[in-house]
Structure 1
Amino acid sequence: MIRTSSKVVATCVVATFLWVSAAMAGEVEVLHWWTSGGEAAAVGVLKDMLKKEGHDWKDFAVSGGAGANAMTALKSRAVSGNPPTAAQVKGPQIQQWAEMGVLANLDDVAKANNWDKLVPPQVAKIMKYDGHWVAVPVNVHKINWMWCNPEVFRKAKAKIPTTWDEFVVSSDKIKKAGFIPVAFGGQNWQEATAFESIVVGVGGVDFYVNTLVKADPKAIDSDTMVKAFETLRTVKKYTDKNAPGRDWNLATSMVIKGQAAMQFMGDWAKGEFTAAGQSPGVDYVAVPVPGTSNSYLFNVDSFIMFKVKDKAAQEAQKTMARLILSPEFQTVFNLNKGSIPVRFGIDRTKFDDVAHRSMSEFEATASDGSLQPSMAHEMAVYPAVRGAMFDVITNFYNSDMSAKEAAKKLAAAVKEAETE
């Protein structure tokens, strides 16, 4: 993983809040961005579980921006020397906070509750700094899903594709039948979401790791990356003219209503189908993006704990960390979120068929090394590198730039971002 100098906050932050004063004994002030119905309900369960063990929860919820607003609020609090005691932080940003020496060590909680055996090493690595647990994972979203309306495929006499060649054949039939092959939203994160699935589908897991996780400029500037960009352009060919600026959930609605055949999106899309009263395997089908049946790109939400002096507050933090990975919370939260548990050994009874498949694939890919972090969803590279990738991907998608030029620009952008 690429390492760059942390620019999360000014250097003076380290001196100002190595120790955070707890507002009262046994209280954790928790910054998070889970404010929608199901998510808020799940957070309420964690709050109640914490209270049952004698600790208080002070909510610091920041909605909007898929977490961007929350990170802005966290940095503001940190600069002023008054961060919350716990905060929802993802991916390499965990490492950036840990580098400043301000995070609590969770090794004792992890050891007592067997985290190293329950959490896959690919996920645990992101939650650790210098081999020590400094964050606790909450859930797993699979990114490389393709959501399909089987009725549209039947009407078009097309096959749900498993390869990119089949994708072209099926999309041509769907288009000829009067439907939109791909429901798409023209926003940079949606373009990056589709692109990273294409990269692993076209180049395989090792190529994905070298290009979008390790961000090796030499691997990026290659014929395989050129092919990935060409495939992204092929996907665009089968979207509709109103795609630019469309929100992801509106694109999902197009599949639900039978206006479009398929959508490339993470498993949060399942919530839209569920809300519409649709059943998996009947009204909709969830399958891997073409070429990715043996791959799993993951997005994991997690919490970091800031150092506190107060002993009761320390115990509250440790209790919260333990409860997050408890079977009860893992089940309740992920049923509400549409994601799956991040730890092994959870009873699958209450989960639907899509979740069952995701859970099985999560375990299988964790064993064979095909479980990899999502670049598009902040799990693989630092923000500066991710931003550089986004810029090139969206510029390519929205221009007549050649795929060869895009590969060269992506390699150059990553190399420049490394030095920042």
Structure 2
Amino acid sequence: MNAISRLAAVVSLASLFPLTALAGEVEVLHWWTSGGEKRAADTLKELVEQKGHTWKDFAVAGGGGEAAMTVLKTRAVSGNPPSAAQIKGPDIQEWGALGLLTEMDAVAEEGKWDALLPEQVAGIMKYDDHYVAVPVNVHRVNWLWINPEVFQKAGATPPTTLDEFFVAADKLKAAGYIAIAHGGQPWQDGTTFENIALSILGPQDYHKAFVELDSATLSGDKMVKVFETLQKFRGYMDANTAGRDWNGATGLLINGKAGMQIMGDWAKGEWTAAGKVAGKDYLCVPFPGTQGSFDYNIDSLTLFKLKDEANRSAQEDLARIVMGAEFQTLFSQNKGSIPVRQDADMSGFDSCAQASMKDFKEAVGNGGLQPSLAHLMAASGYVQGAMFDVVTNFFNDPKADPKKAAQQLAAAIQAVQ
């Protein structure tokens, strides 16, 4: 072997040392378990493994993440947290206050996160002005999903107002279809409720109610109308909603048994997994009355303090991968969301995603960008839980009084602040 060959061999071997020495384990707690979500999570696993790290999947089923949080608390208290966990919104601040999170400022500076993220999003990812979480994507919650073939058979037209919604729902029901596919779980009830609230209250009063937690707005006449409308929605759902998972409800649309579903854009991942095409096999329209507003849910991975140096290195690589353009695109294309990076190339996305990104960028500047309460973006889990209790109890009682429900909502939220 000549000198040049020996030098090349040494360089080649040396390039492997950092990878081998710093290869660690990445354990991620998440609840991406449905068809489209699992494909999205597998994308992250593959990119992590390409860096030489070991992926340890820590998936806990349950669309709203309640079960996952219970497991995480047990692990964190015992001093054995995962590398990252699917925590979001104000709950990131609570974990930060416990001193359990690690700062990722060096990786953020290297990746220019402040320049790539809208200010509202960057603020959510920081505790005490330090990055402790990395945003995965942006979901729009205020979408209405439509099966156009079912609509055509029923002679219905995609609605743009609540009045038009009920006209369409009546036609679907008369034609023998389930008008609204729904899963009777608290977080799904809450998702429907906040869509109606955004439509009736408008973005400013929505913010007053669910971010500022203003009692007068929470118990006011507009909120009474929100409950009245929710009660009316219940009459367009089938008798088998109790306990149904959200993707089961999406399946009713995909299989032509239902006409509409009120759900965030993760529902699109199920259509994609079924080989369906946006704009042809299914339609996405803003929930009636919420045009110009964007009710957002941001998936994020919150990063915990780790003792092992190799695992810390792997954790940093995880953060780099998540904010990378490749992952942001692949993940959102599988999950139905849009990239959080504002420089994302949307040309490879479907029409629903392109419309979502356009509306998101507009809402950033016009006051229409509002955080989802049902998905832990607007307030703490305690406030979310109070809302779920009131809404689900109301939803399951056909004789419930809307005015009393609004008063109960204000009282319940005030009690947990």
Count of aligned positions: 394
- How many Å apart are 1:407 and its aligned residue? 0.5
CA contact (8 A) 1:26 1:314 kept: no
In the superposition, relative to structure 1, how do residues 159 and 131 fare at CA in structure 2: closer, same or farther (>3 Å)? same
What SS does the corresponding residue of 2:243 show, helix, strand or coil? Answer: coil
- Between the aligned partners of 2:123 and 2:228, the Cα distance in structure 1 is 33
In the superposition, relative to structure 1, how do residues 50 and 398 fare at CA in structure 2: closer, same or farther (>3 Å)? closer
1:348-394: per-residue Cα shift (whole Å, max 9, x none)? 23211111111211222122231222111122211111111100001
Q: Which amino acid aligns with 2:223?
A: M
- Between the aligned partners of 1:417 and 1:290, the Cα distance in structure 2 is 31
What SS does the corresponding residue of 1:341 show, helix, strand or coil? Answer: coil
CA contact (8 A) 1:118 1:344 kept: yes
1:130-171: per-residue Cα shift (whole Å, max 9, x none)? 222111011122111111122332333332111111112222
Q: Would you say 1:402 and 2:389 are equivalent positions?
A: no
- Between the aligned partners of 1:204 and 1:181, the Cα distance in structure 2 is 25
Equivalent residue for 2:164, pick from 158, 163, 166: 166
CA contact (8 A) 1:199 1:228 kept: yes
1:246-270: per-residue Cα shift (whole Å, max 9, x none)? 3322322222233322111111222
CA contact (8 A) 2:189 2:392 kept: yes
In the superposition, relative to structure 1, how do residues 102 and 26 fare at CA in structure 2: closer, same or farther (>3 Å)? farther
Q: Which amino acid aligns with 2:24?
A: E
- How many Å apart are 1:96 and its aligned residue? 0.8
- Between the aligned partners of 2:119 and 2:313, the Cα distance in structure 1 is 26
What SS does the corresponding residue of 2:101 show, helix, strand or coil? Answer: coil
- Between the aligned partners of 1:122 and 1:166, the Cα distance in structure 2 is 33
Q: Which amino acid aligns with 1:417?
A: V
- Between the aligned partners of 2:44 and 2:385, the Cα distance in structure 1 is 33
- How many Å apart are 1:47 and its aligned residue? 4.1
CA contact (8 A) 2:36 2:270 kept: no
- How many Å apart are 1:404 and its aligned residue? 0.6
Mark the runs of 5 or more structure 1 residues left unpaired by the alignment.
Answer: 1-23
CA contact (8 A) 2:227 2:406 kept: yes
- Between the aligned partners of 2:147 and 2:36, the Cα distance in structure 1 is 25
Mark the runs of 5 or more structure 2 residues left unpaired by the alignment.
Answer: 1-20
Q: TM-score, normalised by structure 1?
A: 0.87
The equivalent of 1:72 in structure 2 is: 70
State the structure with more CA Rg. Answer: 2
What are the equivalent positions in structure 2 for 1:244-323 lying under 5 Å apart? 244-308=242-306, 312-323=310-321
The equivalent of 1:351 in structure 2 is: 349
The equivalent of 2:16 in structure 1 is: none
Q: Which amino acid aligns with 2:376?
A: E
How much identity, in percent, do the aligned residues show? Answer: 51
What SS does the corresponding residue of 1:170 show, helix, strand or coil? Answer: helix
In the superposition, relative to structure 1, how do residues 349 and 76 fare at CA in structure 2: closer, same or farther (>3 Å)? same
- Between the aligned partners of 1:69 and 1:302, the Cα distance in structure 2 is 17
Q: Which amino acid aligns with 2:405?
A: A
Equivalent residue for 1:240, pick from 235, 238, 241: 238
Q: TM-score, normalised by structure 2?
A: 0.88
Q: Which amino acid aligns with 1:412?
A: A
- How many Å apart are 1:309 and its aligned residue? 5.4
Q: Would you say 1:119 and 2:111 are equivalent positions?
A: no
Which stretch of the first structure deviates more once superposed, 258-267 or 284-293?
258-267
- Give the alignment's Cα RMSD to 1 decimal: 2.1
Q: Would you say 1:97 and 2:91 are equivalent positions?
A: no
What SS does the corresponding residue of 1:375 show, helix, strand or coil? Answer: coil
What are the equivalent positions in structure 2 for 1:7-156 lying under 5 Å apart? 25-33=22-30, 34-36=32-34, 38-53=36-51, 56-66=53-63, 67-156=65-154
What SS does the corresponding residue of 2:103 show, helix, strand or coil? Answer: coil
The equivalent of 1:10 in structure 2 is: none
